[in-house]
Amino acid sequence: MKRLSNQLFQRFAEVVRGVDGWMSIDEFLSLCDQHGVFDEEAQAAMVAQYKKAEIRKMLRRMGRQRAAEELGEKIEWINLIIQTPEGRNQQVYKQLRLFDEGDFVQVIRERMSRVRYWQAEVERLVQLAEAKFGPRIRDLLPFSDTEGP
C-alpha cells in the first residue's frame, strides 16, 4: 500500500498546528473534514488501512473464549514484527498452536525488545517532566522510592 503523502501530512499539520488543548480523534476528524485535508488518494489509502485494522481485530477475536462458542474452536494468532528484504518493518501472524521452538524464541525476543523500548520511553518522559516541573512530579507517578525508571 502506498504511504500517505507528505503533502497530506503538511495539510494536516497546517490544520492542527493551532490546537491548544486535548482533542479526541473524532474532533481531529471533524477538523480535517472541515478543512478538506483528505483527497481521493488519501481516502483510498485510509480505506486499505481500515481494512487491515479490521483484519487485525478479527484475528485477535478468534483467540478469545467467546470465539470458541461462535466458531467451535479458539484459534490464537500471534503477531511478530519482521524486517522485509526491502528493509521495512512488517507485521506477520501465525497460529500459536503451530509454533515450533524457533517461533517461540523469535517472538519472546521481539517482545523483550518492546519492553526495553517502552522502559526507555518512560525514563525519557520522567526526565522531561522533572525538568519542567521539578522532582515533585515523581510523587504523582506510580513509582515507589525503590522502583521506577
123: in domain: yes
- Does 137 or 148 have the greater pLDDT score? 137
31: in domain: no
How many separate domains does the chain show?
A: 1
80: in domain: yes
149: in domain: yes
- Is the separation of the CB atoms in 53 and 60 below 8 Å? no
* Per-residue pLDDT reduced to its tens digit, 59-96: 999 988 777 788 888 899 999 999 999 999 999 999 99
* Per-residue pLDDT reduced to its tens digit, 2-39: 556 788 889 999 999 989 989 999 999 999 999 999 98
137: in domain: yes
27: in domain: no
* Per-residue pLDDT reduced to its tens digit, 113-138: 999 999 999 999 999 999 999 999 98
The pTM for the full model equals: 0.62
139: in domain: yes
- Does 146 or 89 have the greater pLDDT score? 89
54: in domain: no
Identify the domain containing residue 122 by its residue range. 76-149
